[in-house]
Structure 1
Amino acid sequence: MLRPLFHLTVVAINTFVLWYDQTYINLPLPAKEMENLPLKSRSMFLTFWCLILQTIYHFIALLNDLFGTNSRTPKNPPIIRRVKDTLYALAFVAAIYVSLTFWSIYYVDKELIFPDQIEKLYHPSMNHVMHTTVAIFIIIEMLMVHINYPSRKIGFTVTLTFFISYIIWFFNIYAKTGTWVYPVFNPLNWPLRIIFVCMSLALSMIFYLVGEKLNYVIISSSKDTRSKGVKDGISNGKKKK
């Protein structure tokens, strides 16, 4: 019962923030051409891509709780379980990347990532839902739910497709508007911008490997604990005899 409640809560929180943002918040945009971008221009932000991704993941996880299986090693996992596990690999990377990069740049110079004129429009709790709890929730998920990571080929392909799609969209917006989505790109020259993007992709792959490794350690630890419990039970049974 705890798993469905957790997933439902995350979906409700994220959905409310998405709805509130789209209904009540009007961002000051650096270029008029950006006003025509989808989702009230929010589609230009990786944060928004990530929040939508997290909401979709936890909704699929909820459906898996109700109609799929959370078994550790199902022989024939239903399609929803396979989709959930594969999507988790991407959701973990996106959440950790968004949280770490946002708060790192924020503490160096928040004007480069979250200027005052934008920050004042969001309640701090909404800011944390977009940039903090996405990482917290996805880590809790790993600790609470057994994840069967996809093959590295599939996992890398899905993750790179997501981030490269955003990068293409990001540069396409600049090509059409002549304005960078994130002010952090303004003081950089083109070689540094390319290096920044390449390092971001490399970082996403590192986060993928970290997530995969953490999941393996958690699974191994869980198996060891269970095996020890079985052995202790057998030993105690023998002693009683």
Structure 2
Amino acid sequence: MEIYKIILYGFFLVFASYALKCAGSLNTVDVNKVPEDMKKMKDFRYHFFTIWNYVLQIAFLLIAVTDELTKFFKFTNTQKRIERARKFFFSTLVFPSSLLVASVFWTIWHVDRELIFPKIIDTFYPSWLNHTLHTFILLPLLIETVIHFKSAYSNLSRTRALLILLIYVTVYQTLYLSVYFQHGVWLYPIYKVLTWNQRIIFTLSQLFLAISYQQIGISLMKRDSGLPKTKLK
């Protein structure tokens, strides 16, 4: 049964890697044809949370493929360690980060897309890539939750998971603010129209969402299937 999972996750991994390569190829765009305020997408393309999340997904998919391969070849001891890492990484960072990206991006898009992904970007950023980075990311989450964990039960430390998520978010937020303070650039247009009080509230709201999504992900992993419990260390 593992073979179809290897193929499925392998496809996701190859496609995601290709999409990341395309997302990073803005250096091939003629900067003279790109609006001045859009050149930041080239200069700071690896500073966007969307890209950070996509790198997380690729790392997770690599772990998932490795896990399924070790199951297929019956490397039991190695497989158990990889499986624990897979579950922990998925519920701690990948699940909440991907849901945060998709929900915040599309919510703001439907209110006013100019605040998150100005229409001018469509002239050099293909629609399929936009959906890959902001919509396709939900598919591995769905597959992982339904297929891999449908018969799994894990005692994952919520405190430890929360601490890792807070560290991750803090590191990114520090980097994000450093871009503004050092270069005067807000990577996401919505920050331009907000006051500092509103920016703080907006940032804390996203943190609350991320924590909520993480707790949902952990709860999904902890659902009882009647199988022996495996504690993630």
Asked whether the two chains share a fold, i.e. TM above 0.5, the reply is yes
Q: Which of 32, 37, 62 matches 1:30? A: 37
**For 1:189 and 1:23, how far apart are their aligned partners in 2?**
33
TM normalised by structure 2 equals: 0.82
Q: How many residues align?
A: 214
Distance verdict in 2 for CA 1:49–1:76, change over 3 Å = closer
CA shift at 1:215, angstroms? 3.0
Q: Which of 128, 131, 138 is 2:134 aligned to?
A: 131
Q: Call closer, same or farther: CA 1:156–1:187 in 2, change over 3 Å.
A: same
Q: Which moved more, 1:12-21 or 1:103-112?
A: 12-21
Structure 2: unaligned runs, 5 residues or longer: 228-233
- Verify the 8 A CA contact 1:68 1:81 in the aligned structure 2: no
- Sort the Cα spacing of 1:105 and 1:31 in 2 relative to 1 into closer, same or farther, 3 A: closer
Percentage of identical aligned residues: 25
Q: After superposition, give the CA deviation of every residue in 1:57-91 in whole Å (9 maximum; x if it has no partner).
A: 0111101111258x9xx999633222211110110
- Partners of 1:175 and 1:52 lie apart in 2 by 25
For residues 18 and 77 of structure 2, what CA distance do their matches in structure 1 show?
37
2-structure distance, mates of 1:3, 1:171 = 40
- Which amino acid letter does the alignment assign opposite residue 134 of structure 1? I
C-alpha distance in 1 between matches for 2:81 and 2:124: 41
The CA distance in 1 between the partners of 2:61 and 2:50, in whole Å, is 17
- Deviation of the 1:223 alpha carbon: 3.9
Q: CA deviation at 1:214?
A: 2.7
Q: Give the residue type in structure 2 aligned to 1:45.
A: F
Taking the aligned partners of 2:178 and 2:124, their CA distance within structure 1 comes to 27
Is 1:54 the equivalent of 2:57?
Answer: yes
| Structure 1: tracts of 5 or more residues without a match | 225-241
Match of 1:206 in 2: 212
- Select which of 125, 135, 142 maps to 2:145: 142
What is the CA–CA distance in structure 2 between the aligned matches of 1:98 and 1:75, rounded to whole Å? 35
Does residue 122 (structure 1) correspond to residue 132 (structure 2)? The answer is no
Which of 147, 155, 167 is matched with 2:161 structurally?
A: 155
Amino acid at match of 2:134: H
Matches within 5 A, 1:159-238: 159-217=165-223, 220=224, 222-223=225-226
Query: RMSD of the alignment, in Å?
Result: 2.6
SS at match of 1:163: helix
The whole-number CA distance in structure 1 between the counterparts of 2:44 and 2:177 is 15
SS class of match (1:204): helix
Stretch deviating more after TM superposition (207-216 or 97-106): 207-216
CA distance in 2, matches of 1:158, 1:120: 38
- Contact 1:113 / 1:183 at 8 angstroms: preserved in 2? yes
Distance 1:106 1:31 in 2: 17
2:24 is paired with a residue whose SS is helix
Identify the range of structure 1 (83-92 vs 39-48) with the bigger mean alpha-carbon deviation.
39-48
Q: Which has the higher contact order (CA 8 A, sep 6+)?
A: 2
CA distance in 2, matches of 1:87, 1:81: 10
- 2:198 match: secondary structure: helix
Select 1:91's aligned residue among 94, 101, 108.
Answer: 94
The answer for the alignment partner of 2:230 in structure 1 is none
